[in-house]
A and B are shown apart, each in its own frame.
Chain A
Amino acid sequence: MEKSYVYILNCFLLLTFYSCQENKKINYESLTVEEKVLKTKELEYERKFHYQASLFRQAYTDSLIALNPKNAGYYQGKSIAHSKIGDYHISFPLLKKAMELDPKETLYYTSWLMTDLYKDYDRAIKYLNQYDEYTPGKVDYAWGNNINFLKGEVLQALGRHEEAIIEFAKAIDEEGIDYIDPSAFPYRGISYAALKKYDIAIADFDLVIKVYDKSSLSYYYKGITLLEVGKKRKLLLVLKKQKNWYPKDIKNPTLIKKCIMRYT
Protein backbone atom coordinates (compact mmCIF):
# COMPACT_ATOMS: atom_id res chain seq x y z
CA MET A 1 0.00 0.00 0.00
CA GLU A 2 2.90 2.29 0.82
CA LYS A 3 4.19 1.87 -2.72
CA SER A 4 0.86 3.13 -4.04
CA TYR A 5 1.05 6.21 -1.85
CA VAL A 6 4.59 6.93 -3.07
CA TYR A 7 3.46 6.47 -6.68
CA ILE A 8 0.47 8.81 -6.25
CA LEU A 9 2.64 11.36 -4.48
CA ASN A 10 5.23 11.27 -7.28
CA CYS A 11 2.53 11.74 -9.93
CA PHE A 12 1.11 14.66 -7.96
CA LEU A 13 4.52 16.33 -7.67
CA LEU A 14 5.23 15.87 -11.37
CA LEU A 15 1.84 17.29 -12.35
CA THR A 16 2.34 20.27 -10.03
CA PHE A 17 5.76 20.88 -11.55
CA TYR A 18 4.47 20.81 -15.14
CA SER A 19 1.35 22.84 -14.38
CA CYS A 20 3.63 25.56 -13.00
CA GLN A 21 5.38 25.61 -16.39
CA GLU A 22 2.08 26.17 -18.25
CA ASN A 23 1.79 29.83 -17.42
CA LYS A 24 5.41 30.52 -18.26
CA LYS A 25 5.38 32.82 -21.27
CA ILE A 26 7.94 32.06 -23.94
CA ASN A 27 9.31 35.26 -25.36
CA TYR A 28 10.37 34.68 -28.95
CA GLU A 29 10.84 38.38 -29.69
CA SER A 30 14.13 38.47 -27.79
CA LEU A 31 15.61 35.76 -30.06
CA THR A 32 18.03 36.68 -32.84
CA VAL A 33 17.23 35.78 -36.45
CA GLU A 34 19.59 32.78 -36.32
CA GLU A 35 18.07 31.58 -33.06
CA LYS A 36 14.59 31.87 -34.56
CA VAL A 37 15.63 29.78 -37.57
CA LEU A 38 17.11 27.13 -35.31
CA LYS A 39 14.08 27.08 -33.01
CA THR A 40 11.76 26.81 -36.03
CA LYS A 41 13.70 23.82 -37.36
CA GLU A 42 13.64 22.20 -33.94
CA LEU A 43 9.88 22.69 -33.52
CA GLU A 44 9.15 21.48 -37.05
CA TYR A 45 11.15 18.33 -36.39
CA GLU A 46 9.35 17.63 -33.11
CA ARG A 47 5.96 18.41 -34.66
CA LYS A 48 6.41 15.59 -37.19
CA PHE A 49 5.96 12.99 -34.46
CA HIS A 50 2.39 14.09 -33.78
CA TYR A 51 -0.46 13.39 -36.15
CA GLN A 52 -2.51 16.14 -37.73
CA ALA A 53 -5.43 16.17 -35.28
CA SER A 54 -3.33 15.95 -32.16
CA LEU A 55 -3.46 18.77 -29.64
CA PHE A 56 0.33 18.58 -29.39
CA ARG A 57 0.63 19.31 -33.10
CA GLN A 58 -1.70 22.28 -32.66
CA ALA A 59 0.49 23.55 -29.82
CA TYR A 60 3.65 23.17 -31.90
CA THR A 61 1.98 25.04 -34.77
CA ASP A 62 0.97 27.82 -32.35
CA SER A 63 4.63 28.19 -31.36
CA LEU A 64 5.70 28.18 -35.02
CA ILE A 65 3.17 30.93 -35.76
CA ALA A 66 4.51 32.96 -32.83
CA LEU A 67 8.03 32.53 -34.19
CA ASN A 68 7.07 33.20 -37.83
CA PRO A 69 3.91 35.35 -37.82
CA LYS A 70 4.19 36.04 -41.55
CA ASN A 71 4.38 32.42 -42.69
CA ALA A 72 1.05 31.59 -44.38
CA GLY A 73 1.77 27.84 -44.35
CA TYR A 74 1.54 27.57 -40.56
CA TYR A 75 -1.88 29.27 -40.44
CA GLN A 76 -3.11 27.00 -43.21
CA GLY A 77 -1.62 23.93 -41.52
CA LYS A 78 -3.33 24.78 -38.24
CA SER A 79 -6.69 25.24 -39.98
CA ILE A 80 -6.76 21.77 -41.56
CA ALA A 81 -7.71 19.84 -38.43
CA HIS A 82 -10.49 22.34 -37.59
CA SER A 83 -11.90 22.23 -41.12
CA LYS A 84 -12.04 18.46 -41.02
CA ILE A 85 -14.00 18.31 -37.78
CA GLY A 86 -16.41 21.05 -38.87
CA ASP A 87 -15.17 23.84 -36.59
CA TYR A 88 -15.34 26.41 -39.37
CA HIS A 89 -15.41 29.35 -36.96
CA ILE A 90 -11.85 28.40 -35.98
CA SER A 91 -10.51 27.29 -39.36
CA PHE A 92 -11.87 30.07 -41.58
CA PRO A 93 -10.15 33.04 -39.82
CA LEU A 94 -6.86 31.08 -40.06
CA LEU A 95 -7.41 30.53 -43.78
CA LYS A 96 -8.28 34.20 -44.26
CA LYS A 97 -5.05 35.22 -42.54
CA ALA A 98 -3.05 32.78 -44.71
CA MET A 99 -4.68 34.21 -47.85
CA GLU A 100 -3.79 37.74 -46.78
CA LEU A 101 -0.14 36.76 -46.35
CA ASP A 102 0.31 34.59 -49.43
CA PRO A 103 -2.79 34.35 -51.64
CA LYS A 104 -1.09 32.52 -54.48
CA GLU A 105 0.12 29.59 -52.39
CA THR A 106 -2.91 29.44 -50.10
CA LEU A 107 -5.49 29.52 -52.89
CA TYR A 108 -4.03 26.25 -54.20
CA TYR A 109 -5.65 24.70 -51.11
CA THR A 110 -8.55 27.00 -50.21
CA SER A 111 -10.10 27.08 -53.70
CA TRP A 112 -10.35 23.28 -53.60
CA LEU A 113 -11.46 23.29 -49.95
CA MET A 114 -14.39 25.63 -50.62
CA THR A 115 -15.47 23.39 -53.51
CA ASP A 116 -15.07 20.00 -51.93
CA LEU A 117 -15.48 20.28 -48.16
CA TYR A 118 -17.21 23.59 -47.39
CA LYS A 119 -19.43 23.40 -50.49
CA ASP A 120 -19.44 27.19 -50.38
CA TYR A 121 -19.88 27.53 -54.12
CA ASP A 122 -20.06 31.34 -54.35
CA ARG A 123 -16.76 31.64 -52.53
CA ALA A 124 -15.31 28.64 -54.41
CA ILE A 125 -15.85 30.13 -57.88
CA LYS A 126 -14.38 33.45 -56.73
CA TYR A 127 -11.27 31.71 -55.36
CA LEU A 128 -10.91 29.38 -58.37
CA ASN A 129 -11.06 32.32 -60.78
CA GLN A 130 -8.59 34.33 -58.69
CA TYR A 131 -6.15 31.40 -58.54
CA ASP A 132 -6.51 30.69 -62.26
CA GLU A 133 -5.78 34.32 -63.13
CA TYR A 134 -2.30 34.19 -61.59
CA THR A 135 -0.98 32.12 -64.49
CA PRO A 136 -3.03 32.88 -67.61
CA GLY A 137 -2.73 30.39 -70.44
CA LYS A 138 -1.37 27.63 -68.20
CA VAL A 139 -3.16 24.56 -66.84
CA ASP A 140 -3.64 25.07 -63.10
CA TYR A 141 -4.30 22.54 -60.36
CA ALA A 142 -5.99 23.15 -57.02
CA TRP A 143 -4.97 20.53 -54.43
CA GLY A 144 -4.05 18.25 -57.33
CA ASN A 145 -7.33 18.69 -59.21
CA ASN A 146 -7.66 20.30 -62.63
CA ILE A 147 -8.99 23.78 -61.95
CA ASN A 148 -11.36 23.79 -64.93
CA PHE A 149 -12.86 20.52 -63.73
CA LEU A 150 -13.48 22.08 -60.32
CA LYS A 151 -14.93 25.20 -61.93
CA GLY A 152 -17.26 22.96 -63.91
CA GLU A 153 -18.47 21.25 -60.73
CA VAL A 154 -19.07 24.56 -58.96
CA LEU A 155 -20.83 26.21 -61.91
CA GLN A 156 -23.06 23.17 -62.30
CA ALA A 157 -23.98 23.31 -58.61
CA LEU A 158 -24.82 27.02 -59.07
CA GLY A 159 -27.05 26.13 -62.01
CA ARG A 160 -24.81 27.88 -64.57
CA HIS A 161 -24.85 24.89 -66.92
CA GLU A 162 -23.63 26.55 -70.13
CA GLU A 163 -20.47 27.79 -68.40
CA ALA A 164 -20.05 24.41 -66.67
CA ILE A 165 -20.06 22.60 -70.05
CA ILE A 166 -17.31 24.93 -71.30
CA GLU A 167 -15.17 24.25 -68.21
CA PHE A 168 -15.61 20.46 -68.39
CA ALA A 169 -14.73 20.53 -72.09
CA LYS A 170 -11.62 22.60 -71.28
CA ALA A 171 -10.57 20.10 -68.59
CA ILE A 172 -11.07 17.13 -70.96
CA ASP A 173 -9.08 18.95 -73.62
CA GLU A 174 -6.25 19.83 -71.22
CA GLU A 175 -5.87 16.42 -69.61
CA GLY A 176 -6.54 14.35 -72.71
CA ILE A 177 -8.95 11.46 -73.01
CA ASP A 178 -6.56 9.00 -71.32
CA TYR A 179 -5.82 11.03 -68.20
CA ILE A 180 -8.98 12.98 -67.46
CA ASP A 181 -11.05 11.93 -64.44
CA PRO A 182 -13.78 9.86 -66.19
CA SER A 183 -16.51 11.54 -64.13
CA ALA A 184 -15.96 14.69 -66.26
CA PHE A 185 -18.14 13.06 -68.95
CA PRO A 186 -21.23 12.22 -66.88
CA TYR A 187 -20.89 15.61 -65.14
CA ARG A 188 -20.90 17.36 -68.51
CA GLY A 189 -23.79 15.11 -69.54
CA ILE A 190 -25.78 16.25 -66.49
CA SER A 191 -25.37 19.87 -67.58
CA TYR A 192 -26.37 19.01 -71.16
CA ALA A 193 -29.46 17.22 -69.83
CA ALA A 194 -30.32 20.26 -67.69
CA LEU A 195 -30.22 22.35 -70.88
CA LYS A 196 -32.50 19.74 -72.52
CA LYS A 197 -29.76 18.67 -74.95
CA TYR A 198 -30.62 15.05 -74.28
CA ASP A 199 -28.84 13.35 -77.20
CA ILE A 200 -25.45 14.91 -76.39
CA ALA A 201 -26.02 14.12 -72.72
CA ILE A 202 -26.70 10.44 -73.45
CA ALA A 203 -23.59 10.33 -75.66
CA ASP A 204 -21.50 11.51 -72.68
CA PHE A 205 -23.02 8.89 -70.36
CA ASP A 206 -22.45 6.16 -72.95
CA LEU A 207 -18.84 7.18 -73.41
CA VAL A 208 -18.08 6.36 -69.79
CA ILE A 209 -20.22 3.20 -69.71
CA LYS A 210 -18.16 1.97 -72.66
CA VAL A 211 -14.89 2.16 -70.73
CA TYR A 212 -16.27 1.45 -67.23
CA ASP A 213 -19.47 -0.59 -67.25
CA LYS A 214 -20.04 -0.15 -63.50
CA SER A 215 -20.33 3.65 -63.53
CA SER A 216 -23.52 3.92 -61.48
CA LEU A 217 -23.45 7.72 -61.90
CA SER A 218 -23.67 7.36 -65.71
CA TYR A 219 -26.36 4.68 -65.59
CA TYR A 220 -28.42 6.68 -63.14
CA TYR A 221 -28.34 9.92 -65.11
CA LYS A 222 -28.76 8.08 -68.40
CA GLY A 223 -31.87 6.50 -66.87
CA ILE A 224 -33.17 9.90 -65.76
CA THR A 225 -32.51 11.39 -69.22
CA LEU A 226 -34.23 8.49 -70.98
CA LEU A 227 -37.18 8.90 -68.64
CA GLU A 228 -37.24 12.57 -69.53
CA VAL A 229 -37.39 11.89 -73.28
CA GLY A 230 -39.83 9.01 -72.82
CA LYS A 231 -37.60 6.18 -74.11
CA LYS A 232 -38.97 3.60 -71.73
CA ARG A 233 -37.69 0.49 -73.51
CA LYS A 234 -34.10 1.74 -73.41
CA LEU A 235 -34.56 2.80 -69.79
CA LEU A 236 -35.52 -0.76 -68.88
CA LEU A 237 -32.26 -2.04 -70.36
CA VAL A 238 -30.30 0.47 -68.27
CA LEU A 239 -32.18 -0.52 -65.14
CA LYS A 240 -31.58 -4.19 -65.81
CA LYS A 241 -27.83 -3.59 -65.97
CA GLN A 242 -27.83 -1.45 -62.87
CA LYS A 243 -29.93 -3.99 -60.95
CA ASN A 244 -27.01 -6.41 -61.09
CA TRP A 245 -25.11 -4.52 -58.42
CA TYR A 246 -28.05 -3.31 -56.39
CA PRO A 247 -27.88 -2.12 -53.63
CA LYS A 248 -24.11 -1.70 -53.18
CA ASP A 249 -23.24 0.40 -56.20
CA ILE A 250 -26.50 2.11 -56.87
CA LYS A 251 -26.97 5.86 -56.87
CA ASN A 252 -30.62 6.14 -56.15
CA PRO A 253 -32.42 2.98 -55.03
CA THR A 254 -35.79 4.65 -54.39
CA LEU A 255 -36.07 6.06 -57.88
CA ILE A 256 -34.90 2.88 -59.55
CA LYS A 257 -37.43 0.86 -57.53
CA LYS A 258 -40.18 3.25 -58.60
CA CYS A 259 -39.14 2.95 -62.25
CA ILE A 260 -39.06 -0.83 -62.07
CA MET A 261 -42.54 -0.89 -60.53
CA ARG A 262 -43.86 1.51 -63.13
CA TYR A 263 -42.40 0.03 -66.28
CA THR A 264 -42.17 -3.72 -65.67
Chain B
Amino acid sequence: MITFGFVDGTFKNIHYQTVEIQGDVKPVTFQLCNAYININNPSDRYYYKGTTYNGGLYHIRKIFDRQYKAPKNSEEFGIFQVRFVVNCEGKAGIFDHQAFDYDYNLKEFSTEITDQIFEIAKGLQNWIPGRHSKTDQIIDTYKYLSFRIKDGKIIRIYP
Protein backbone atom coordinates (compact mmCIF):
# COMPACT_ATOMS: atom_id res chain seq x y z
CA MET B 1 0.00 0.00 0.00
CA ILE B 2 1.28 3.47 -0.85
CA THR B 3 0.23 6.68 0.83
CA PHE B 4 1.51 10.23 0.74
CA GLY B 5 2.65 12.03 3.86
CA PHE B 6 5.17 14.15 5.72
CA VAL B 7 8.18 12.06 6.72
CA ASP B 8 11.68 13.16 7.78
CA GLY B 9 10.98 16.83 7.03
CA THR B 10 9.56 16.37 3.54
CA PHE B 11 6.39 15.26 1.74
CA LYS B 12 6.83 11.96 -0.05
CA ASN B 13 5.30 8.62 -0.88
CA ILE B 14 5.26 6.13 1.99
CA HIS B 15 5.28 2.42 1.18
CA TYR B 16 3.61 0.01 3.60
CA GLN B 17 4.00 -3.74 3.62
CA THR B 18 0.71 -5.41 4.56
CA VAL B 19 0.99 -8.63 6.54
CA GLU B 20 -1.98 -10.89 7.13
CA ILE B 21 -2.92 -11.41 10.79
CA GLN B 22 -2.29 -14.98 11.89
CA GLY B 23 -4.97 -16.70 13.99
CA ASP B 24 -7.96 -15.24 15.83
CA VAL B 25 -6.88 -11.96 17.41
CA LYS B 26 -9.25 -10.54 20.02
CA PRO B 27 -8.73 -7.28 21.91
CA VAL B 28 -7.69 -7.93 25.48
CA THR B 29 -8.24 -4.44 26.86
CA PHE B 30 -11.05 -1.91 26.82
CA GLN B 31 -11.91 -0.65 23.37
CA LEU B 32 -14.29 2.00 22.12
CA CYS B 33 -16.82 1.04 19.49
CA ASN B 34 -16.57 4.51 18.01
CA ALA B 35 -12.93 5.57 18.02
CA TYR B 36 -13.86 9.22 17.65
CA ILE B 37 -15.47 9.86 21.04
CA ASN B 38 -13.85 13.07 22.23
CA ILE B 39 -13.21 13.79 25.89
CA ASN B 40 -12.65 17.47 25.15
CA ASN B 41 -15.93 17.91 23.37
CA PRO B 42 -18.75 18.50 25.88
CA SER B 43 -21.40 17.32 23.41
CA ASP B 44 -19.99 13.80 23.56
CA ARG B 45 -20.66 13.56 27.27
CA TYR B 46 -23.66 15.82 27.42
CA TYR B 47 -27.05 14.40 26.63
CA TYR B 48 -28.70 11.63 28.56
CA LYS B 49 -28.31 8.42 26.59
CA GLY B 50 -29.87 5.99 29.04
CA THR B 51 -26.67 4.32 30.26
CA THR B 52 -27.49 2.40 33.45
CA TYR B 53 -25.95 -0.27 35.60
CA ASN B 54 -27.44 -3.74 35.61
CA GLY B 55 -29.43 -3.84 38.86
CA GLY B 56 -29.54 -0.05 39.05
CA LEU B 57 -27.93 2.36 41.46
CA TYR B 58 -29.12 0.04 44.22
CA HIS B 59 -26.67 -2.60 43.03
CA ILE B 60 -23.79 -0.11 42.85
CA ARG B 61 -24.56 1.05 46.40
CA LYS B 62 -24.56 -2.57 47.61
CA ILE B 63 -21.17 -3.23 46.01
CA PHE B 64 -19.64 -0.15 47.63
CA ASP B 65 -21.30 -0.96 50.93
CA ARG B 66 -19.64 -4.36 50.87
CA GLN B 67 -16.21 -3.41 49.57
CA TYR B 68 -15.41 0.12 50.76
CA LYS B 69 -13.64 0.37 54.12
CA ALA B 70 -13.63 3.88 55.56
CA PRO B 71 -10.22 4.89 56.96
CA LYS B 72 -10.12 5.05 60.75
CA ASN B 73 -10.33 8.49 62.41
CA SER B 74 -10.65 10.20 59.06
CA GLU B 75 -12.04 13.73 58.99
CA GLU B 76 -12.06 14.04 55.22
CA PHE B 77 -15.16 15.37 53.52
CA GLY B 78 -16.29 16.39 50.04
CA ILE B 79 -17.42 14.90 46.77
CA PHE B 80 -15.37 12.39 44.82
CA GLN B 81 -16.37 11.96 41.22
CA VAL B 82 -15.39 9.01 39.03
CA ARG B 83 -15.74 9.69 35.30
CA PHE B 84 -15.51 7.03 32.64
CA VAL B 85 -16.74 5.78 29.29
CA VAL B 86 -19.17 2.88 28.89
CA ASN B 87 -18.64 1.29 25.48
CA CYS B 88 -21.33 -0.29 23.33
CA GLU B 89 -20.62 -3.68 24.96
CA GLY B 90 -21.45 -2.34 28.41
CA LYS B 91 -17.81 -2.36 29.57
CA ALA B 92 -16.33 0.64 31.38
CA GLY B 93 -12.93 2.16 30.70
CA ILE B 94 -10.90 5.38 30.29
CA PHE B 95 -11.40 6.14 33.99
CA ASP B 96 -10.71 9.56 35.37
CA HIS B 97 -11.61 11.34 38.60
CA GLN B 98 -11.95 14.75 40.20
CA ALA B 99 -12.93 15.86 43.69
CA PHE B 100 -14.57 18.88 45.27
CA ASP B 101 -15.12 20.21 48.76
CA TYR B 102 -18.71 20.96 49.86
CA ASP B 103 -18.41 24.41 48.24
CA TYR B 104 -17.46 22.83 44.90
CA ASN B 105 -13.84 23.95 44.87
CA LEU B 106 -11.45 21.36 43.43
CA LYS B 107 -9.60 19.40 46.10
CA GLU B 108 -7.65 16.19 46.62
CA PHE B 109 -8.60 13.32 48.89
CA SER B 110 -6.06 11.04 50.50
CA THR B 111 -5.08 7.99 48.45
CA GLU B 112 -6.62 5.77 51.13
CA ILE B 113 -10.02 6.98 49.96
CA THR B 114 -9.46 7.69 46.28
CA ASP B 115 -7.66 4.44 45.46
CA GLN B 116 -10.39 2.36 47.06
CA ILE B 117 -13.28 4.13 45.33
CA PHE B 118 -11.44 4.22 42.04
CA GLU B 119 -10.63 0.51 42.12
CA ILE B 120 -14.16 -0.52 43.12
CA ALA B 121 -15.61 1.70 40.37
CA LYS B 122 -13.26 0.09 37.85
CA GLY B 123 -14.72 -3.25 38.86
CA LEU B 124 -18.22 -2.16 37.77
CA GLN B 125 -18.28 -3.80 34.37
CA ASN B 126 -21.89 -4.79 33.91
CA TRP B 127 -23.38 -1.67 32.33
CA ILE B 128 -26.33 -1.41 30.00
CA PRO B 129 -24.98 0.78 27.19
CA GLY B 130 -26.68 3.95 26.09
CA ARG B 131 -28.44 4.33 22.77
CA HIS B 132 -28.46 6.98 20.12
CA SER B 133 -31.65 8.99 20.56
CA LYS B 134 -32.54 8.97 16.85
CA THR B 135 -31.14 5.74 15.44
CA ASP B 136 -31.56 3.71 18.65
CA GLN B 137 -28.13 2.23 17.97
CA ILE B 138 -26.03 1.21 21.00
CA ILE B 139 -23.17 3.66 21.44
CA ASP B 140 -20.21 4.58 23.65
CA THR B 141 -21.25 7.06 26.33
CA TYR B 142 -19.66 9.08 29.09
CA LYS B 143 -20.84 8.47 32.60
CA TYR B 144 -19.93 9.78 36.02
CA LEU B 145 -20.66 8.68 39.55
CA SER B 146 -20.44 11.05 42.51
CA PHE B 147 -19.60 9.93 46.03
CA ARG B 148 -20.45 12.30 48.88
CA ILE B 149 -17.97 11.70 51.69
CA LYS B 150 -18.13 12.71 55.34
CA ASP B 151 -15.48 11.71 57.88
CA GLY B 152 -14.05 9.32 55.30
CA LYS B 153 -17.36 7.46 54.95
CA ILE B 154 -19.46 7.37 51.77
CA ILE B 155 -22.79 8.89 52.73
CA ARG B 156 -24.37 9.15 49.28
CA ILE B 157 -23.74 7.72 45.80
CA TYR B 158 -25.49 9.31 42.84
CA PRO B 159 -25.12 9.61 39.09
Contact = CB atoms under 8 A, between A and B. Distances in A.
Interface of A: 1, 51-55, 81, 84-86, 88-89, 91-93, 119-120, 251-254
A52 B56 CA distance: 28
B58 A81 contact: no
Contact of A88 (B62, B79, B83): B79
B91 interface: no
Contact of B46 (A1, A52, A89, A120): A52
Interface residues of B, number: 28
Q: Which 3 pairs of residues, A with B, have the shortest CB-CB distance?
A: A92-B104, A53-B46, A53-B42
Contact of A254 (B4, B62, B79): B62
B59 interface: yes
B144 A86 contact: yes
A81 B42 contact: yes
Contacts of B10: none
A89 B43 contact: no
Given A119-B148, A119-B156, A253-B55, A86 B46 contact: no
Given A252-B58, A254-B62, A85 B45 contact: yes
A54 B44 CA distance: 10
Interface of B: 4, 41-43, 45-47, 55-56, 58-59, 62, 79, 81, 83, 98, 100, 102-106, 142, 144, 146, 148, 156, 158
A89 B158 contact: no
Contacts of A84: 46
B158 A119 contact: yes
Nearest to B62: A254
A123 B158 CA distance: 16
Contacts of B83: 86
Given A86-B81, A86-B146, A119-B158, A51 B43 contact: yes
A88 B102 CA distance: 10
A47 to B, nearest CB: 15
Contacts of B144: 85-86
A120 B58 CA distance: 19
Given A81-B46, A253-B55, A89 B156 contact: no
A92 B103 contact: yes
A16 to B, nearest CB: 18
Contacts of A89: 98, 100, 104-106
Contact of A85 (B42, B62, B100, B102): B42
B57 to A, nearest CB: 11
A53 B43 contact: yes
A80 to B, nearest CB: 10
B26 to A, nearest CB: 29
A120 B105 CA distance: 14
10 contacts: A1-B4, A53-B47, A54-B42, A55-B42, A81-B42, A84-B46, A120-B102, A251-B58, A252-B56, A252-B58
Contact of A54 (B43, B79, B105): B43
Contact of B59 (A52, A55, A93, A254): A254
Contacts of B4: 1
Nearest to B156: A119
Contacts of B102: 120
Nearest to A82: B42
Looking at B46, B81, B148, the one whose CB has the most chain A CB atoms below 10 A away is: B46
Contacts of A1: 4
A251 B56 CA distance: 8
A1 B11 CA distance: 11
Nearest to A52: B46
A93 B59 CA distance: 33
A85 B85 CA distance: 13
